[in-house]
């Protein structure tokens, strides 16, 4: 049976309408815009420290090397060693500045502790998107039914504990009933703070912004150079078009 574009249009329209639900989940949680600026070296350095302090003990970033971070973030290798390198190799040897960002946690240990293997975070920002990561880290809430005591609006029944709870504090979700025709659906209205953390809401959002910014950077460290090169290539093509058009006019002047 021949399938035409006309026949596919209804399917594509339905898929487009369902896509937000697939991304956000049935909770109705919206994604907040992450304050991303990979040209902000100060933000990236703060994000690198946050990643090292709160993520790197469990999550690896095996496509990234410490010396590349030092170079791109305009830091000395000694500063990167002091801030980020807290691991040793399989034989107990000190981690080198040129090594990739591996962790000692094995998949078997992670499955026993969290019920699933811990994902590598190098490409997380490419796979999930910066807004998803930023919102996910804001959306943990207290749930006594979960093994870790926490759940997440964006990622329901997540196995990851809320490692940033001491900074954010503790919160619970407050839902509202939204009518879709004759059907009432419980959707997230807001979070209610039940215990304050070390950071205010604004400070915590800034902290997550820096952390997300760093994760966007490690997902594609070359993106600044790529974008810069892209403009140069476009400019070259514009100039080349001018020469090509002039050459075409010269070749065809006797015909026209």
Residue-range domain boundaries for the chain: 21-169+200-221, 223-256
- Of the candidates 145, 157, 150, the one whose C-alpha atom is nearest the C-alpha of residue 116 is 157
Mean pLDDT over each residue of the chain, to the nearest integer: 86
Would you say the pTM of this structure is higher than 0.85?
no
Burial of 215 (0-12, 13-18, 19+ CB in 10 A): buried
Whether 18 has a pLDDT exceeding 60, the answer reads no
Whether 5 has a pLDDT exceeding 60, the answer reads no
Which pair of structure tokens corresponds to residue 199?
A: 């950071």
Whether 4 has a pLDDT exceeding 60, the answer reads no
- Range 47-65 average pLDDT: 94
Phi-psi region for residue 117, left (φ > 0), alpha (ψ -120 to 50) or beta?
beta
> Partners of 179 in the beta sheet?
184
21-169+200-221 has which CATH code?
1.10.760.10
Report residue 56's pLDDT band, with 50, 70 and 90 as the boundaries.
very high
CA distance 212 to 215: 5
- Of the candidates 162, 242, 229, the one whose C-alpha atom is nearest the C-alpha of residue 154 is 162
pLDDT at residue 9, as a whole number: 54
Cβ(115)–Cβ(126) below 8 Å: no
Cβ(120)–Cβ(61) below 8 Å: yes
Report residue 20's pLDDT band, with 50, 70 and 90 as the boundaries.
very low
Whether 16 has a pLDDT exceeding 50, the answer reads no
């Amino acid at each position: 049976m021949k399938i035409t574009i006309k026949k596919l249009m209804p399917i594509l329209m339905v898929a487009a309408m369902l896509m937000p639900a697939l991304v956000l989940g049935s909770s109705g949680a919206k994604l907040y815009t992450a304050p991303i600026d990979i040209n902000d070296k100060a933000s990236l350095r703060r994000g690198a420290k946050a990643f090292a302090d709160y993520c790197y003990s469990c999550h690896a970033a095996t496509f990234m090397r410490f010396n590349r971070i030092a170079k791109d973030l305009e830091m000395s290798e000694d500063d990167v060693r002091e801030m980020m390198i807290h691991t040793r190799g399989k034989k107990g040897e000190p981690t080198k500045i040129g090594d990739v960002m591996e962790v000692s946690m094995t998949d078997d240990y992670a499955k026993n502790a969290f019920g699933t293997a811990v994902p590598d975070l190098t490409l997380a920002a490419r796979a999930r998107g910066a807004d998803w990561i930023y919102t996910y880290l804001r959306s943990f809430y207290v749930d006594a039914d979960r093994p870790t005591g926490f759940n997440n609006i964006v990622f329901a029944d997540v196995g990851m504990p809320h490692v940033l709870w001491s900074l954010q504090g503790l919160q619970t979700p407050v839902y509202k009933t939204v009518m879709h025709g004759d059907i009432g659906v419980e959707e997230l209205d807001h979070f209610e703070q039940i215990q304050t953390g070390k950071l205010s809401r604004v400070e915590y959002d800034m902290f997550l912004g820096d952390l997300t910014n760093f994760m966007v950077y490690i997902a594609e460290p070359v993106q600044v150079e790529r974008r810069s090169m892209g403009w140069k290539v476009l400019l070259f093509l514009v100039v080349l078009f001018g020469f090509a058009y002039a050459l075409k006019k010269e070749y065809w002047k006797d015909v026209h």
